Structure 1
Amino acid sequence: MPTDRDLTTGPITRAVLSVSAPMSVGIFAVLSVGLADAYFLGRLGEAQLAAVGFLYPVTTAVTSLAIGLSAGATAALSQAIGRGDDRRSVARMALHALAFAVVLGIVAGGVIWLATGPLFAALGAGREVATEIRAYMGWWCVSFPALAAMMTVNAVFRAHGNAASAAIIMTSVAAVNVALDPVLIYGFGPIARLGTGGAAIATGIARVLSLAAGLIWAARRNYLSWDTAPFRGIGRSLRRIVEVGLPAAVSNAINPAGMAIVTGAVATLGETAVAGFGAATRVQTLALVPVLALSSGIGPVVGQNWGAAQVGRAQRAVRFTFLLCLVYGLALGVLLAVFAEPLSAIFASAIGDATFATTYLRWVGWTLFGYGVLVTGNAAMNARSRAVWSMGMSLSRIFVLYVPLAWIGVSVAGFAGIAAAAATANVAAAVAMVFAARANRLWPGALGLAERPKGTIEDAPGQLSHTGPTAG
């Protein structure tokens, strides 16, 4: 069984990679669910496939709430573990995060369920497509509390340095979901054909089963406290979680919102351009899986070391992660320059779509290192309780750079202007993130900091006492 890992000792490179590597498998598994849904539903007809296109940005934005909460839980728990807090108090805080996730999931799921009709009508869904959307969203909303809770359980495992367990949970939910998809969508034996609703039911069953397994696993490892006063200190716990979780949720919702606006700019060139842009972004998402895994891994490393007052280790972890993003991003640029055309042909539905996708990938592929630096830097600042900074970085990349440049670029240079806007936003985000890391003491030598003795406490909100001098 995967075990806990103390991320405050040993080589920092091993600490980062030990948490990040398993998450690559888990994140790829999760992404495979969306691809499976699109494939199986697409075989039913155009209305079902169109419904997937409408559902993706909405479900992604709502899921950002759960992702943000899990970021807050990771930050609070990993810092507490690094400080050496009593294991029972850490487990109690994990229980508080889990309870809050369930409540948030119920409220958010209920609101989205009530708003489904007018929301998708405002987005332009026609009557036939809207029928498919309603069939999906009802079940999706019912299972959203299980998703929010499952993400929090994953955050608990990662905070303890046990990323392998988190990856196993993610992979399990994906495997169950993909296996159930054809059975419930098309029907099998006594099971009736459920169509689009069947895809959502498959997702719900997978979420509940994986959550149950994760809770049992976490309880057996004493990650959750069920003592005689389980809700003692819940107010303080939630403040620590929400101060990171709320800005992190906004940060995660910014990207799909910005992409929707950029898609509007692409739409001025016609449906073929939109299809090509969609194909390119699907390739890009899969190519960025290792970077997303790094963003999942750097959080616990920075959190534990910041809590343990090992500032130098946290700084070196960030520098190493940025370097990995640069090396991987440049290698990705070479691969996309060479293989953009065949990759586009796989994900595009027509030759015209593939042409647009190829243009995007060859331009933007060289700059994906910048997006990697942004998301890993954001995760590091979340873990260091500087979530407002990470939210500001995401907002700036999308609404100060990408969206305005995309609309200007499409009017001046057509689709090439869209690709140039994305490339510019990525590079600028990387440069800005390095300065932000220095400003927040997450870069080696920033403000002349030296590594402090273990046991001192940093100046982030939520700290209770000082046992020694803080770093200046």
Structure 2
Amino acid sequence: MSQPTRDLTRGAVWRAIAAVSAPMTIGIFAVLSVGLADAFFLGRLGRDPLAAVGYIFPVITAITSLSIGLSAGTNAAVSQAIGRKESEDAEHRLALHAVGLGTTLSILVALAVWWSFPALFRLLGASEAVAVEIAEYMPWWALSFPLLVTLMQIQAVFRAHGKGGWAAGIMTVSALMNVGMDPILIFGLGPIPALGTEGAGLATFLARVAAVCGAVALAVWSGLLRVRSRPFLELWFSIKTIAHVGAPAAVSNAINPAGMAAVTAAVSVVGETAVAGFGAATRVQSMALVPLMALSAGIGPVVGQNWGAERQDRAARGLWLCFSWCALYGLGVGALLFLFATPIAAAIANGSDAAEFGAQYLRWVGWSLFGYGMVVTGNAAMNARDKAVWSLGLSLSRIAVIYLPLAWAGVTLFGYPGIVGAAVAANVLGGAGAAFATWKTGLLRLPSRARSTAAQAA
């Protein structure tokens, strides 16, 4: 059975973006709620499990972001093929090869993580007690990583066809399963023993098994993923097409969470209580960024399909709308976090000291989240435009030139407030960089023939 592809090259631009972004808001929120639930439940066990989550979160986010970059390559390749009206055979080959490539690479990465994580977390400053908690979680996470990447590649195919609701539905069901199993496996229930931190890792693995089974079944049923009689035909062409965007996008997406892991090492200079509070705050921050992350998921296929169809004016209008939304939403979420930082942090962090560190971060960094939203939406648009090297440069500059140097200088001179100030500077300057990069790559420039009708068409 073949399901029709949503045409994102016609109609109002904001409706095209909303068609993918709106359901993805729910899906991304659900996925990020898993990390928040892990922090909440493990925080009830004490400081060491909560600190372990503080170390684990940026590391696994960095590794996962490699696959997000690969899915960006898949989205760009498939959506542009759709926009160019290529044959279904070509689209199906790209989709099948993308899923196979992602699965193969993720198995290699999972093996590397399994082997190296003890040394990695020692390098990041984890104490012996915290390292014990980390060692209970990471093997299950490594085992589930290939499942996650396979799932993300299939979801990229769904989004390229304008099926954001399908991707979001699978994400939501998987997250609900994970959150539901967390307290049962962490604290035990009836014959199920209390597994503590290991239980959180096992819950993630089981939820991802179910999600992959559902995604594959839906992709095959819908006809968006098919195995042809010659499945390896033009395999090398597909790999090159996907890697053209996927390789730099993978590095670009991994840079920010990898930088957060390095910032966590700077926070550990202050102490493990600060790490626990910082980790709790970054989870809340991730939840606050959900609408902006969904926006980045929506702008990618819109830019891809319209660029493939040579409708650059619609791609430009879409990005202008996204940046405007980042500014408006950023003001609102900044005000909310400023007012309610203390009770929010106290609900996640275990202990008043850790909560105070978390509240201090949320209170001031919240005002700068609009800039990070511009970075992720700008990167998604440039990836879909085949300008992944520019998105790589933007992410690298934000982390390596601004955030990390300022974080280490700040913690040395001012302690924890220096970390907070560095985060604010990185977000604001990153947003300015996103505006510059998308302008230089032509994404923000409305063609002259379209300027007079931009408002009506949008």
TM-score (norm 1): 0.89
1:109 maps to 2:110: yes
Give the 5 Å matches for 1:440-459.
Answer: 440-445=441-446
1:282 match: 283
Match of 2:319 in 1: 318
Q: Deviations over 1:212-260 (max 9, x none)?
A: 1111111111111212112211111111111211212212221122223
Please state how far the C-alpha of 1:3 moved relative to its aligned partner: 6.6
Give 1:27's aligned residue. Answer: 28
Cross-structure match for 1:346: 347
Aligned residue for 2:350, secondary structure, equals coil
Q: CA 1:105–1:45 in 2, change beyond 3 Å: closer, same or farther?
A: same
Q: Which amino acid aligns with 2:332?
A: A
Alignment of 1:73-92 (within 5 A): 73-92=74-93
**Structure 1 residues 296-375: aligned runs within 5 Å:** 296-375=297-376
Kindly report which structure 2 residues correspond to 1:205-220, keeping only aligned pairs within 5 A, or say none. Answer: 205-220=206-221
- Structure-1 separation of matches of 2:241 and 2:150: 18
Tell me the percent identity.
55
- 5+ residue gaps, structure 2, are 452-458
Q: Which residue of 1 aligns with 2:293?
A: 292
Q: SS where residue 435 of structure 1 aligns?
A: helix
Answer yes or no: is the 8 Å Cα contact 1:88–1:225 preserved in 2.
no
Label 1:449 to 1:420 Cα distance change in 2 as closer, same or farther (>3 A).
farther
**Superposition pairs of residues 49-448 of structure 1, within 5 angstroms:** 49-445=50-446
Amino acid at match of 1:199: A
Secondary structure at 1:9's aligned position in 2?
Answer: coil
- The residue type paired with residue 310 of structure 1 is R
**In 2 relative to 1, CA 136–281 (structure 1 residues): closer, same or farther, beyond 3 Å?**
closer
Query: Which segment is superposed worse, 296-305 or 112-121?
Result: 112-121
Instruction: Check conservation: 1:311, 1:450, Cα contact below 8 A.
Output: no
User: Quick one: distance in 2 between partners of 1:337 and 1:117?
Assistant: 37
In 1, Cα distance between equivalents of 2:44 and 2:356: 24
Q: State the 1:407 CA deviation.
A: 3.0
CA distance in structure 1 between the aligned counterparts of 2:413 and 2:131, rounded to whole angstroms? 36
The answer on whether the counterparts of 1:319 and 1:444 sit within 8 Å (CA) in structure 2 is no
Partners in 2 of 1:420 and 1:38 — Cα distance? 24
Gaps of 5+ in 1: 452-472
Q: Which amino acid aligns with 2:280?
A: A
Q: Deviations over 1:424-462 (max 9, x none)?
A: 22222222211211111101337x6869xxxxxxxxxxx
How far has the Cα of 1:295 moved from its partner? Answer: 0.8
Tell me how far 1:268 sits from its aligned partner: 4.0
Secondary structure of 1:66's counterpart equals helix
Q: Give me the whole-angstrom Cα distance separating, in 2, the residues matched to 1:88 and 1:180.
A: 40
Q: Is 1:77–1:93's contact at 8 Å kept on the other side of the alignment?
A: yes
The higher relative CO (CA closer than 8 Å, separation ≥ 6) is in 2
Which deviates more, 192-201 or 94-103?
192-201
**Conserved 8 A contact 1:19-1:164:** yes
Tell me which amino acid in the other structure corresponds to 2:385: R
CA shift in 2, pair 1:418/1:182, >3 Å: closer
Question: Match of 1:467?
Answer: none
Offset, 1:138: 2.1
Deviations for 1:367-388, whole angstroms, at most 9, x for unmatched residues?
A: 2111111110000001111111
Tell me the distance in 1 between the aligned counterparts of 2:167 and 2:94: 18
| Distance change >3 Å, CA 449–CA 407, structure 1 → 2 | farther
Deviation at 1:66?
Answer: 1.6
The change in CA–CA distance for 1:428 and 1:293 in structure 2 (over 3 A counts) is same
> How far apart are 1:127 and its partner, in Å?
4.3
How far the C-alpha of 1:267 sits from its partner, in A, is 3.9
Which amino acid in the other structure matches residue 200 of structure 2?
A: A
Distance 2:361 2:46 in 1: 28
- 1:410 and 1:429 mapped to 2: Cα distance? 21
- Report if aligned partners of 1:267, 1:274 keep a CA contact under 8 Å in 2: yes
Deviation at 1:137, TM superposition (A): 2.2
Report the residue type matching 1:431 in the other structure: A
What is the rounded CA distance, in whole Å, between the counterparts of 1:337 and 1:45 in structure 2? 27
Distance 1:184 1:360, change over 3 A: closer
- Output the CA distance in 2 between the equivalents of 1:449 and 1:247: 33
1:279 and 1:48 map into 2 onto residues whose CA distance is 12
- The answer to whether the Cα contact below 8 Å between 2:3 and 2:224 also exists between their aligned partners in 1 is no
Q: 222-231 or 193-202: which moved more?
A: 193-202
Cα distance in 1 for partners of 2:44, 2:357 equals 24
Cα distance in 2 between the residues matched to 1:83 and 1:114: 44
Structure 2 contact 47–350 (Cα < 8 Å) conserved: no
Q: Residues 402-435 of structure 1: CA distance to partner in whole angstroms, max 9, x if unpaired?
A: 2222333344444443333222222222222112
Change in CA separation of 1:263 and 1:204 when aligned onto 2, cut-off 3 Å = closer
Q: Check 1:40–1:412 CA distance in 2 against 1; reply closer, same or farther (3 A cut).
A: closer
1:85-130 residue CA offsets vs partner (Å, 9 max, x unmatched)? 1112101210000111111121111121122333333334444443
CA deviation map 1:160-209 (0-9, x unaligned): 00000000010111111122223333343444444333322221221111
In the superposition, relative to structure 1, how do residues 129 and 406 fare at CA in structure 2: closer, same or farther (>3 Å)? closer
CA distance 1:445–1:422, shift in 2 (3 Å): same
Deviation at 1:301, TM superposition (A): 0.6
1:281 shift after superposition: 2.3
How large is the Cα RMSD of the aligned pairs? Answer: 2.3
Question: Which segment drifts farther, 264-273 or 138-147?
Answer: 264-273
Give CA-to-partner distance per residue, 1:346-404, whole Å, 9 cap, x none: 33434444444444333322221111111100000011111111011011011111222
Q: CA offset at residue 336 of structure 1?
A: 2.5
In structure 1, how many angstroms separate the alpha carbons of the residues matched to 2:279 and 2:114? Answer: 27
CA-CA distance at 1:59 after TM superposition:
1.7
